[in-house]
Homo-oligomer: A and B are copies of this chain.
Amino acid sequence: MRLLDIGEVSRQAGVPASALRYYEEIGLISSVARRGLRRQFEPDVLLQLALISMGKAAGFSLGDISAMFGRDGKPDLPRKDMHDRANELDRQILELTALRDTLRHVADCPAPSHMECPTFMRLVDLAGKRRRKGIKVRLKTLD
């Protein structure tokens, strides 16, 4: 059972066959044979698909991903770019944290309007500052 046909890959990877065909079309993966009309894949493709899925979850475009782990799974992207991406992820994690805190606050805050709640305003303000770092910030202490 050396090769997997597309249906099996689809089932095992949880990726629709149409998406697999699309990935092949754009050169992200490749099938190695046909059985009749059916594409046959090497089992390796499952790992590639895991990578692709990871990359997507991290916010990379398919183009980026194919630059990182090309058709043969070897990385093309310079290390620096990868570090940049990782740093961007750090930033993104901070955003998520701020949003989470804001959300929790919003859920619990007794103030009639959030616009009037200093805690809320502070959270939003901080988030805003992070996003446009480098821009001069004028914060009035609200609490």
Binding site for B on A (CB under 8 A): 14, 44, 47, 50-51, 53-55, 57-61, 68-69, 73-75, 79, 82-83, 85-86, 88-93, 95-100, 102-104, 106-108, 113-115, 121, 124-125, 127-128, 131-132, 137, 139-142
Given A103-B86, A127-B54, verify A47-B92 contact (CB < 8 Å). Answer: no
A interface majority secondary structure? helix
Give every chain B residue within 8 A of A14 (Cβ-Cβ). Answer: 132
A91 to B142, CA, bound (A): 10
Copies in the complex: 2
* Additional 18 contacts, C-beta under 8 A, given A57-B139, A58-B103, A82-B107: A53-B127, A53-B128, A54-B98, A54-B127, A54-B128, A58-B98, A59-B139, A68-B106, A69-B106, A69-B114, A73-B113, A73-B115, A75-B106, A79-B107, A82-B103, A83-B104, A93-B97, A96-B96
